Amino acid sequence: MKIHTTNYSDTFILIADDCPAKTGEIPPIKTDGKSVATRQFEILSKHPYTFTSDDVLFQIYAERNHLTQAELVTAREQFFSKGQACFRCSPLTKRYGWGIHSDKNGKIALFGCETEMYEKLLKDESLLIVKAMKSGK
């Protein structure tokens, strides 16, 4: 079984060209529970450079599907046997104004588009710079 990945290394994902946010915004908590954006934000804001993109996406999938510890290894293999959308498609980069930096080990952190660090990463010639996907056409 082929295993796909969403991980990048030495990469900075910029906000989408049509992102409405002018600063990094905390995604609102919905009345029916936490959205994917809220959960991604919580993980990355509390644990910068701790997890890879694959780790974050699978953790959210596992929580939303109430997987047990015994199910995790097999479920992760199954989850990544199909291609998954990476953080270029995340609401954090498309709607809420957060850039995502992947270090040389693929560990990720987020930076508001208004921050000095965002600008510094944007100008870092050692990084692959990619834009988040646009929401509209």
pLDDT tens for residues 35-68? 899 999 999 999 999 999 999 999 999 999 999 9
pLDDT tens for residues 12-42? 999 999 999 999 999 998 877 788 999 999 9
Beta strands 108-112 and 98-102 are antiparallel
Per-residue model confidence (pLDDT) at position 135: 86
Q: Give CB contacts under 8 A, 24+ apart, made by 30-36.
A: 35/91, 36/60, 36/90, 36/91
Confidence of residue 132 (pLDDT cuts 50, 70, 90): very high
Q: Contact 106/52 with Cβ under 8 angstroms? A: yes
Q: Contact 38/127 with Cβ under 8 angstroms? A: no
Per-residue model confidence (pLDDT) at position 137: 60
Q: Where is 89: in which H helix or E strand?
A: none
